[in-house]
Amino acid sequence: MVLIFEPNDVQDTLELHYLLKIDLCIEFFLTLIGNGLCLAVMNYEQFGGDPMKRGIENKLISSVCIAQILGMFSSATISLVRALYGPVNIIVATTVWFILASLNHFASLSLMLMFSNKNLNILAFNFVSHMDENFWFWFLQILNVSLSSILSFIVYFLSQSYFPVISSYAGLPITPEHSKVTFVLMALGALIMFVSYFCIKIYKTIQDPESQDQNQVESNLFNNLVHNPNILNDIQLFLVCTAFLATGGLIPLAIFQGQPPDTPDEVFLSFLPGRWVFGFINPMLFFYFNPAIGAHFKRDFWEDWAPGWLDKYNPYLITLPQVVPGPSESQ
């Protein structure tokens, strides 16, 4: 792989289709909305319950939200520049690719950690209950970031030419070069997710229903839970992760039957479902699956963000009735 980039490299001014340009402009604004929703999910995870009872799974969801915000904002911004002003500098295109690849690896590894944590809670509860969760969470985060960055460096240095994403951003001819590491990680994540999900379903099926009902009643009466309730239940998390894996890996492969795209239009089209799902649909699913996120965001907005002149519309503002003095009081 060529490691030294010449700023004066000949760039092929391959124009994008005008419909694709319109789509990229729409995606930019939807991504801003989606990033705001991700921030609301993170705020709910940290402050919507007891801050001292944040579980590893919820913390990992917040970490994935951070990765999604950084990745989608980078992707949407450079795509908007590419649509409106044409090709970007090859160094900028490569930097954005590295960010996207690393964050994609990070999200895939975090997905594996989520379902592995669920399995450990079932198979080795005594071991998990004695762990220092805060230490292990940050240890795994540092390990995750390191592995994601190293994998991206290895993939880049071992490639023989620019990846289609880099070439489409920079306006260079598309070469049949694509990374198998990302798809392998996604496939491994999908395997762990499916196996874990069905193991959890089987475990919950054979568990004594009466003990589950008793635990649910006690948790509703008292806040005696070790951790805050999960942001998403098992089936909801399964659906969100399936959307991530399908649009990030399977759909691009299916669109071009496993062959890398040949033109910038095809490159952008192949990842269009993923951009829509990552940037907007997945954050919306969090609000749909867990209405408490929206309720917390609404209350937080009126209490901390809304200007004073909007107080008359505040549904949480309690206005005391005005006391009119009686005849005896007025005398």
CA distances (Å), origin 246, targets 55, 137, 235: 27, 27, 16
319 part of a folded domain: no
104 part of a folded domain: yes
330 part of a folded domain: no
326 part of a folded domain: no
CA distances (Å), origin 274, targets 135, 144, 158, 248, 271: 33, 22, 25, 5, 5
CATH of the domain at 124: 1.20.1070.10
User: In whole angstroms, what is the distance from residue 173 CA to residue 164 CA?
Assistant: 8
Tell me which residue range forms the domain holding 237.
18-207+228-297
145 part of a folded domain: yes
DSSP 257: T
Span 264-300, pLDDT tens digits:
888 888 888 888 888 899 899 999 999 999 998 888 8
Angle at the Cα of 212 from the Cα atoms of 206 and 215, rounded to 5 degrees: 155
Does the pLDDT at position 107 exceed 80?
yes
**Count of Cβ atoms closer than 10 Å to residue 210 Cβ:** 8
Give the per-residue pLDDT at 74: 93
Sequence-distant contacts of 217-222: CB under 8 A, at least 24 apart:
none
Q: What is the torsional sign of CA 63, 67, 68, 69?
A: positive
Does the pLDDT at position 252 exceed 80?
no
Give the per-residue pLDDT at 11: 41
1 part of a folded domain: no
Give the per-residue pLDDT at 76: 93
With residues binned 3-state (H G I as helix, E B as strand, rest as coil), the percentages for the chain, rounded to 5, are 75, 0, 25
* Both tokens assigned to 112: 């594996």
Domains contained in the chain, number:
1
126 part of a folded domain: yes
User: In whole angstroms, what is the distance from residue 115 CA to residue 237 CA?
Assistant: 10
The pLDDT-based confidence of 125 (bands split at 50, 70, 90) is low
212 part of a folded domain: no
Give the per-residue pLDDT at 65: 93
Span 44-70, pLDDT tens digits:
999 888 888 888 888 999 999 999 999
